[in-house]
Amino acid sequence: MKALLVGCGKMGGALLQQWSRSADWDFTVVDPFAETVPEGVTLLKAREDVPDTLFDLLIVAVKPQMIDEVMPAYQTSLAPSGVVASIAAGCSVDRLKAATGAGAVIRIMPNLPALIAQGVSGLYASPDCTNDQKTAVETLMQRAGTTVWVDDEDALDRVTAVAGSGPGYVFEIARTYIAAAEALGFTNDQARALVLGTMAGAVEMARLSDETVEALRNSVTSKNGTTQAGLEALNADGTLSELLLRTTQAAYNRAVELR
């Protein structure tokens, strides 16, 4: 099967690293700024360079604000039985259909750990999509990590707020945690090892455990011990809980604005 990827920035490039390993797909990329692509992928610089081939999958990976300008030029590149898959955050199915002329559209909300095949992606398919189209796109996304189907576009915007933007929240928490460790006297290398190792181990333990994260938290919290003292400073008044609620709500509100 043939896929045409329009745009190959950080997120598109991360996904392409995983997708290109599939023997079932032949990828062509159009991006005037990309310099390298995985082995076996064809890189073109402009729409004019695209051959008169009909593609089974047209992947929209340009910035949302560029879609109305860029994508109409590719309407003749999609096979009649083809499907459009978009990783453009907040860009609605209706807008994608108008720009690409497609009937079947699948919106995807990936996140950056897809680069190491540890991503989490939300998927929403328009009613026009066949099961075969959905399976083909899901199989590609599973090469980049975990997939979660949602029933409507609003739910996908909520995925954006939690998982799509989520790595940014985690990196910022890690940054401040490392800074706090350095304030206790550790070097940056020591602080990174302590903090990132602790976070990675705790997350993996939670992933593998049947217990709730609350139960796991309690299992390391001795009465009047060091962990209890730290937790009381961290969230005893609910400040952290409120902050994360406001964080995800702000991201969701912005996703809605981009529709």
99 lies in the same domain as 222 = no
Residues 137 and 172 in one domain: no
**Are residues 154 and 102 part of one domain?**
yes
Degrees (nearest 5) of the Cα angle 106, 48, 27?
Answer: 45
CATH code of the domain containing 82:
3.40.50.720
Residues 174 and 193 in one domain: yes
Same domain, 176 and 154: no
Cα atoms found within 13 Å of the Cα of residue 99, Cβ hemisphere only: 24
In the chain, the number of structural domains is 2
pTM: 0.86
Domain shared by 117 and 191, yes or no: no
Residue 85's Cα: distance from chain center in Å? Answer: 13
3-state secondary structure 188-220: HHHHHHHHHHHHHHHHHHHHHCCCCHHHHHHHC
Same domain as 137, residue 57:
yes
Domain interval for residue 252 = 166-257
Domain boundary among 129, 163, 197: 163
pLDDT digit string (tens) for the chain, length 259 residues: 999 999 999 899 999 999 998 889 999 999 999 989 999 999 999 999 999 989 999 999 999 889 999 999 999 999 999 999 999 988 899 999 999 999 999 999 999 999 999 999 999 999 999 999 999 999 999 999 999 999 999 999 999 999 999 999 999 999 999 999 999 999 999 999 999 999 999 999 999 999 999 999 999 999 999 999 999 999 999 999 999 999 999 999 988 887 7
Q: Are residues 121 and 227 in the same domain?
A: no
Distance CA 39, CA 131 (A): 30
Q: Do 110 and 197 fall within a single domain?
A: no
pLDDT at residue 256 in the model = 85
Q: Which of 116, 139, 163 is the last residue of a domain?
A: 163
Query: What pLDDT score was predicted for residue 255?
Result: 85
Q: Same domain, yes or no, for 71 and 159?
A: yes
So what's the pLDDT on residue 23? 84
Kindly state whether residues 18 and 36 are assigned to the same domain. Answer: yes
- Cα distances from 120 to residues 109, 114, 123, in angstroms, run 8, 7, 10
Q: Which of 112, 143, 163 is the C-terminal boundary of a domain? A: 163
Q: Is 132 left (phi over 0), alpha (psi -120 to 50) or beta?
A: alpha
Do 124 and 188 reside in the same domain of the chain? no
